[in-house]
Amino acid sequence: AQSVTQLGSHVSVSEGALVLLRCNYSSSVPPYLFWYVQYPNQGLQLLLKYTTGATLVKGINGFEAEFKKSETSFHLTKPSAHMSDAAEYFCAVSDRGGSQGNLIFGKGTKLSVKP
Amino acid sequence: DADVTQTPRNRITKTGKRIMLECSQTKGHDRMYWYRQDPGLGLRLIYYSFDVKDINKGEISDGYSVSRQAQAKFSLSLESAIPNQTALYFCATSDLSAGGKYNEQFFGPGTRLTVL
């Protein structure tokens, strides 16, 4: 079965610092991977996704993530944090070509950005 | 206008009451989902529907039921609400086109439900 582990339920960075949010997955087949962001009092919004092809994926708001099969990881990074990046981030995995096509979410990482 | 809408946005109810949460979408997607979010637990799938005649239980369906009234509408019911159903509930959609093959999902704004 697929599973997702997000390391660190809370991450705090200073404005302008590197953001690194960690995600590891477990899958018997190469998965489709997603990062979603949830701003306060809002629903989830897709940041980026990996399906096939280039392993470095660029998303909205300057975020990117790299799929590393050997490490079963899909960490999310941003070179310079902005106050507006404060939110909760969820990594998710989907079965590749699975008939159910469901997403399995990690437990989330809350990002705080200090001035 | 939002593509995926949920009503109500907030609801406070009492133990034992029947509650219905509604979700509507204008994206034309065939797949719809209900999740609940609890602090520290992420999102967990309650029910999902691939079309009007296809309803499936998710990870945590006990105590919940759903109705897919039309392609665009998917309702979640709590027949007899209990306090541990207090949570944030999200509806989501996806389709069977290229985006749906990867199961990219689009979320509504959520319904915050409190059961006293």
The amino acid that residue B10 corresponds to is N
Name the A residues in 74-113 with CB < 8 Å from any B CB.
Answer: 90, 94-95, 97, 100-103, 105-108
Q: What percent of chain B clears pLDDT 90, i.e. is strictly above it? A: 78
How much of chain A, in percent, has pLDDT values that exceed 70?
94
Q: How confident is the model at residue B97 (pLDDT cuts 50, 70, 90)?
A: low
Q: Which amino acid makes up residue A20?
A: L
User: Does residue B59 sit in helix, strand or coil?
Assistant: coil
**Spatial distance between the Cα atoms of A76 and A62, rounded to a whole number of angstroms:** 11
Residue A3, chain B, CB below 8 Å: the answer is no
> Would you give the end-to-end CA distance of chain A in angstroms?
41
What pLDDT digit, counting tens, does each position of A64-106 carry?
999 999 999 999 999 999 999 999 999 998 865 554 568 889 9
Cα–Cα distance for residue pair B63/B82, rounded to 1 Å: 9
Interface subset of B 85-114, CB within 8 angstroms of A:
90, 92, 94, 100-110
Nearest to B55 by CA among B77, B33, B80, B72: B33
Q: Is pLDDT larger for residue B85 or for residue B2?
A: B85
Q: What is the pLDDT of residue A99?
A: 47
Query: What does the CA dihedral A24, A38, B37, A51 come to, rounded to 10 degrees?
Result: -40
- Is A43 within 8 Å of B41 when comparing Cβ atoms? no
Q: Band the pLDDT of A32: cuts 50, 70, 90.
A: confident
The pLDDT of residue B51: 87
- The pLDDT tens digits for B20-48 are 999 999 999 989 999 999 988 899 999 99
User: Does the beta carbon of B56 lie under 8 angstroms from any beta carbon of chain A?
Assistant: yes
Is A43 in contact with B102 (Cβ distance < 8 A)?
A: no
Q: Quick check: B70 pLDDT over 50?
A: yes
